[in-house]
């Protein structure tokens, strides 16, 4: 990969769309030149971010009683067509396999757009008794949507390469409801680890998952003020259980329909993380997901070069032993070019070691998030680096949280909403009636994102459409 092509300057982050596209390329996350629209290639560096991110997702799911499994990609048409609402929601975006070799298939096969209809015929056979509950299974797979809208890497794809979908089964509607809450909590925890603050809200009824009783969602606010849906959690009631005949024997011996939930996270998690933390110089990565966490730059003069290089190697080995991902950049590039390169790649901490530092028995640490320089004593370099990682992570999250709060605007008039959503997310009272909601959306020219899962109490306001009294505000936003 020709280095020279990548030394062009990144556009300023204010020009978010250009910045995002160029960053993916210059930081070697995705190559967008694959010869099919909406399909992209993960560069090794980008894939390393994905690996680290999905390790966090796996860890949090595994530790909360989920089990990873794997179901087929191809769904026979007859299974796919069983659930009426579900089909309506997906039929325009499903890819169909119609031929094997030169012969037409007896039954066309859908590429999963999501896996309810692949998994639930198996659940019909697996679910037997209330004693089996809860069943909490997830898989991380590629899914497909024939997007006709403008596609965008990591955000709107025809092959979603990294769809983590969980599917749970419970006895009662209430048990499933509790699992929805738990899933929102776990997803919030995952994003906390990525330093990404989220808005949690219930989607309006006309925007829920096809076939669900209701949908809760997590959104991030992107630098341009639009929201990005980065996690959804669906209460499926017993709708799919009835369609796929998933029954269990209750303690009283009766056969009853099970209740289900499903919830998903995709590579949008990575889109949000890099968009929110990045800056004019490139990526800024939380240490936990950075493919390179520390880069060591030897500052070399004619005299003492060997000692400096030996000290750098020693520090690298010690940090590696402490479980950190470390590189030495002893290339011939001038220091400025080295800084450019590693800053672009979001390396959280740069350690510079020269003869004078060695004399003082320190390394100079430069933080990617703040640019601050500090000396770290070499004898305790592991602890020094580790505590900087914590500080960097916390700073990234707090900065993002402040940024998010600054982009939420409480409004009372629809005109105000119309203006504020150019900058971020507006809130506005809503009586909860669908007709008022649709009128609001129409007048604003943007959709209701959702009803915040946590509401301020004891508010008494008026719906801007019907003037009915309400305690509830909703988020309104331009969305990706």
CB of 67 to a copy of itself, least distance (A): 4
Assess 31 for contact with a copy of itself (CB under 8 A).
yes
When binding is defined by CB under 8 A, the residue of 42, 187, 209, 248 that contacts a copy of itself is 42
Determine the Cα–Cα distance for residues 398 and 423; give it in Å rounded to an integer.
Answer: 20
Nearer to a copy of itself, 113 or 348 (CB): 113
Determine the Cα–Cα distance for residues 462 and 457; give it in Å rounded to an integer.
Answer: 15
How many CA atoms within 13 Å lie on the side-chain side of 254?
A: 5
Determine the Cα–Cα distance for residues 317 and 311; give it in Å rounded to an integer.
Answer: 10
Strand residues in 112-226 grouped as ranges (E)? 135-144, 159-170, 199-202, 214-221
CB of 74 to a copy of itself, least distance (A): 6
SS3 20: helix
Assess 359 for contact with a copy of itself (CB under 8 A).
no
CB of 165 to a copy of itself, least distance (A): 14
CB 414 within 8 A of CB 443: yes
When binding is defined by CB under 8 A, the residue of 50, 202, 345, 393 that contacts a copy of itself is 50
Determine the Cα–Cα distance for residues 258 and 244; give it in Å rounded to an integer.
Answer: 10
CB of 458 to a copy of itself, least distance (A): 46
CB 115 within 8 A of CB 167: yes
Assess 257 for contact with a copy of itself (CB under 8 A).
no
Assess 409 for contact with a copy of itself (CB under 8 A).
no
CB of 133 to a copy of itself, least distance (A): 12
When binding is defined by CB under 8 A, the residue of 96, 322, 331, 387 that contacts a copy of itself is 96
Assess 101 for contact with a copy of itself (CB under 8 A).
yes
When binding is defined by CB under 8 A, the residue of 12, 72, 359, 371 that contacts a copy of itself is 72
* DSSP 8-state code for residue 172: S
Candidates 66-74, 272-280, 329-337, 441-449: pick the segment binding a copy of itself (CB under 8 A): 66-74
Assess 253 for contact with a copy of itself (CB under 8 A).
no
Q: Which residues pair with 479 in a beta bridge?
A: 227
Assess 84 for contact with a copy of itself (CB under 8 A).
no
Tokens for 170, please give them. Answer: 């419970």
Nearer to a copy of itself, 33 or 303 (CB): 33
Assess 323 for contact with a copy of itself (CB under 8 A).
no
When binding is defined by CB under 8 A, the residue of 8, 12, 17, 70 that contacts a copy of itself is 70
When binding is defined by CB under 8 A, the residue of 109, 169, 220, 233 that contacts a copy of itself is 109
Q: Using H for helix, E for strand and C for coil, what is the string for 244-298?
A: HCCEEECCCCCEEECEEEEEEECCHHHHHHHHHHCECCECCCCHHHCCCCEEEEE
Beta-sheet pairing, 294-298 with 247-249: unpaired
Total Cβ atoms within 10 A of residue 469: 12
Q: Could you tell me how many residues of this chain bind a copy of itself (CB under 8 A)?
A: 57
DSSP string, 357-387: HHHHTEEEEEETTT--EEEEEGGGHHHHHHH
Q: Which residue has the tokens 């990682």?
A: 389
Nearer to a copy of itself, 246 or 381 (CB): 246
Candidates 61-69, 307-315, 333-341, 414-422: pick the segment binding a copy of itself (CB under 8 A): 61-69
Question: 284-310 b/e with 16+ CB inside 10 Å = b?
Answer: bbbbbbbbbbbbbbbbbeeebeeebee
Nearer to a copy of itself, 157 or 411 (CB): 157
At 132, which helix (H) or strand (E)? none
Assess 206 for contact with a copy of itself (CB under 8 A).
no
Determine the Cα–Cα distance for residues 424 and 405; give it in Å rounded to an integer.
Answer: 10
Tokens for 458, please give them. Answer: 């004891």
SS3 30: strand
When binding is defined by CB under 8 A, the residue of 6, 11, 22, 39 that contacts a copy of itself is 39
Beta-sheet pairing, 425-429 with 408-410: parallel
Assess 77 for contact with a copy of itself (CB under 8 A).
no
Nearer to a copy of itself, 22 or 441 (CB): 22
Nearer to a copy of itself, 111 or 289 (CB): 111
Give the per-residue contact string, 118-137, with a copy of itself (x = CB under 8 A; - = no).
x--xx--xx-xx--x----x
Candidates 97-105, 282-290, 319-327, 335-343: pick the segment binding a copy of itself (CB under 8 A): 97-105
CB of 103 to a copy of itself, least distance (A): 8
* Backbone angle region of 419, left / alpha / beta, with phi > 0 → left and psi within -120 to 50 → alpha: alpha
Q: In terms of Cα–Cα distance, which of 9, 208, 231 is closest to 138?
A: 231
Give the per-residue contact string, 1-30, with a copy of itself (x = CB under 8 A; - = no).
xx----------------------------
Candidates 41-49, 326-334, 415-423, 469-477: pick the segment binding a copy of itself (CB under 8 A): 41-49
Instruction: Name the residues that contact a copy of itself, by CB under 8 A.
Output: 1-2, 31, 33-36, 39-44, 47-48, 50-51, 67-74, 76, 79, 91-102, 109, 111, 118, 121-122, 125-126, 128-129, 132, 137, 141-142, 146, 148, 158-159, 161
């Amino acid at each position: 990969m020709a280095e020279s092509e990548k030394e062009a300057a990144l556009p300023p982050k204010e020009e978010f769309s250009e910045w995002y596209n160029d960053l993916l390329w210059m930081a070697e996350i995705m190559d967008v030149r694959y010869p099919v629209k909406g399909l992209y290639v993960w560069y090794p560096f980008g894939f390393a971010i994905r690996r680290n991110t999905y390790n966090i997702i796996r860890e949090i799911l595994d530790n909360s009683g989920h089990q990873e499994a794997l179901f087929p990609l191809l769904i026979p048409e007859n299974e796919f067509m069983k659930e009426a609402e579900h089909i309506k929601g997906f039929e325009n975006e499903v890819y169909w396999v119609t031929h094997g070799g030169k012969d037409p298939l007896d039954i066309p096969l859908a590429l999963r757009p999501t896996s309810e209809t692949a998994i639930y015929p198996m659940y019909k056979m697996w679910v037997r008794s209330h004693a089996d509950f809860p069943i909490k299974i997830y898989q991380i797979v590629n899914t497909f949507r024939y997007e006709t809208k403008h596609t965008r890497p990591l955000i709107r794809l025809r092959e979603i390469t990294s769809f983590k979908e969980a599917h749970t089964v419970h006895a009662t509607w209430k048990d499933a409801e509790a699992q929805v809450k738990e899933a929102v909590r776990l997803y919030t925890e995952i994003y906390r680890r990525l330093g990404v603050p989220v808005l949690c809200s219930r989607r309006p009824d006309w925007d829920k998952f096809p076939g669900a009783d209701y949908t809760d969602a997590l959104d991030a606010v992107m630098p341009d003020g639009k929201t990005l849906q980065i996690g959804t959690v669906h209460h499926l009631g017993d709708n799919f259980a009835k369609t796929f005949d998933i029954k269990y024997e209750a303690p009283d011996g009766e056969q009853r329909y099970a209740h289900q939930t499903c919830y998903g996270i995709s590579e949008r998690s990575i889109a949000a993380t890099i968009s929110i933390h990045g800056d004019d110089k490139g990526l800024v990565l939380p240490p936990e997901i950075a493919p390179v966490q520390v880069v060591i730059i030897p500052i070399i003069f004619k005299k003492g070069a060997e000692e400096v290089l030996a000290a750098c190697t020693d520090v690298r080995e010690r940090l590696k032993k402490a479980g950190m991902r470390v590189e030495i950049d002893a290339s011939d590039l001038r220091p400025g070019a080295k800084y450019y390169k590693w800053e672009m790649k979001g390396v959280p901490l740069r350690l510079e070691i020269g003869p004078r530092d060695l004399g003082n028995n320190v390394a100079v640490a430069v933080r990617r998030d703040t640019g601050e320089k500090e000396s770290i004593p070499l004898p305790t370099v592991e602890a020094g680096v580790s505590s900087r990682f914590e500080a960097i992570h916390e700073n990234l999250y707090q900065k993002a949280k402040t940024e998010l709060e600054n982009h939420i605007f409480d409004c009372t008039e629809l005109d105000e909403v119309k203006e504020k959503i150019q900058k971020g997310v507006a809130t506005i009272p809503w009586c909860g009636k669908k007709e008022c909601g649709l009128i609001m959306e129409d007048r604003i020219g943007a959709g209701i994102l959702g009803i915040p899962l946590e509401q301020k109490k004891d508010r008494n306001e008026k719906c801007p459409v019907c003037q009915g009294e309400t305690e509830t505000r909703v988020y309104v936003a331009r969305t990706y």
